[in-house]
Amino acid sequence: MALRHGPDLHPLRARGPDRVARSDKRLSAARDLVLPQSVSTVRVRGPRRIRPLHPDQPDRRMKALAVVSIAALDLRRHPSHRSELRSQLLLGELVSVRSLARGGQWARIENHGDGYRGWARTWGLRSLSEGEAEEWKRRARWRVAQRHVEVRSGPGGGSIVTPLFWNSAVAIVASRGAFSKLSLPDGSEGWVPRRVLRASVRPAGSLMRLIRDFHGIPYLWGGRTPLGFDCSGFVQQVMAAVGLSLPRDAHEQFLFCRERPITRSPRPGDLLFFGRRGGRMTHVAIALGGGSFGHARGTVRVNSLLEANPLYDKVLARSLRAIGRPEPGLRHSC
């Protein structure tokens, strides 16, 4: 059964969850969501106090599947729009639902791709059975290959069905000329130019072009879309475009790299990790060759480790702590 989601994406007014639940009839769809009995509902008393109704049931036993059905879904630390933005999920990503809060308006979820957990609004999710989730993974083999595209009701025109962001997963069900018809997670369909989709990953040699394509995009804490990236979100998305899956945060990404000697001219595709000695890695960048690196810091930009280069970044050059080569399946301890 699919979660219904209304068009209002604004934060809740300060009326209290009980009054909102009584006044907003659209919440009934979320309250009636059929989930396995192992998924508990969570009561929220105040902005940050979360008490499970069944504390004897650990999270690992809660099983319910869903797919992100809107262009970008914010993942927050607590079930509130005022809470810290931890990450973002893209249309087509699969998640596990752990519990519900605030009358079914919020779901505590785990992203299947990178294991990240947080709270998201249920309006951006569609529930799936295990069979439907496997079918979606099989069909959604195509990825959006540019910053942003609008899915239209007809080939070459018509009304906007939904926007899509870079790396979103979609399924192609038909083609007509230079256009492809997409099947979307919420059951709707629409058309995009075929050239904006890719079925295979880009070669690693296209890293410089990829980073230049996103040059100037603003920094956003928790961001994973071309509307705004944080440093690790940008690295994660660039690596995904060349076929490498990485965790969400910089210190976790380091665990999936083969460490290399520190040099001022790392190989293209190496990851550069920065931070204070004795602490976690707090920043990550992608080596482009010749001492240059691309990263999200203020904006997506290119800087250099070489003092003679006009793009030299003195602060980062002095805080370089490690260089690593991403390797699929590798995980080591710090």
pLDDT in tens, 57-69: 334 445 799 999 9
The stretch 126-144 carries a mean pLDDT of 96
* Cβ partners under 8 Å of residue 131, min gap 6: none
pLDDT band at 180 (very low <50, low <70, confident <90, very high): very high
- The per-residue pLDDT of the chain, averaged, comes to 84
CATH superfamily of 17-128: SH3 Domains (2.30.30.40)
Q: What's the confidence (pLDDT) of residue 17?
A: 40
pLDDT of amino acid 207: 82
pTM for the whole structure: 0.80
Q: Tell me, what's the pLDDT at 333?
A: 53
Give yes or no for a contact between 262 and 201, defined as CB atoms under 8 angstroms apart. Answer: no
pLDDT of residue 279: 86
Q: How far apart are the first and last CA of the chain?
A: 43
293: which strand partners?
Answer: 287, 303
Q: Where in the chain is the domain with CATH 2.30.30.40?
A: 17-128, 140-198
Residue range(s) of every CATH 3.90.1720.10 domain in the chain: 204-326
Query: Distance (Å, rounded) from C-alpha 84 to C-alpha 86?
Result: 6
Q: Is the pLDDT of residue 334 over 50?
A: no
Please provide the CATH number assigned to the domain covering 204-326: 3.90.1720.10
d(C-alpha 134, C-alpha 178), whole Å: 29
Confidence of residue 210 (pLDDT cuts 50, 70, 90): confident
**C-alpha–C-alpha distance, residues 158 and 191, integer Å:** 9
pLDDT the model gives residue 203: 65
pLDDT in tens, 253-294: 999 999 999 999 999 999 999 999 888 999 999 999 999 999
Question: What is the tens place of the pLDDT at every residue in 285-326?
Answer: 999 999 999 999 999 999 999 999 999 999 999 999 999 999
pLDDT at residue number 287 = 97
Third-level CATH fold of 140-198: SH3 type barrels. (2.30.30)
Amino acid symbol at 71: A
* CA 82 – CA 166 distance, rounded (Å): 26
59 within 8 A of 98, measured Cβ to Cβ? yes
Q: Which of 6, 11, 20, 15 is nearest to 82 (CA)?
A: 11
Buried b (16+ CB within 10 A) or exposed e, 112-126: ebbebbbbbbbbbbb
Looking at 4-13, 100-109, 271-280, 300-309, which range is the least confident one? Answer: 4-13
Amino acid at 256: F
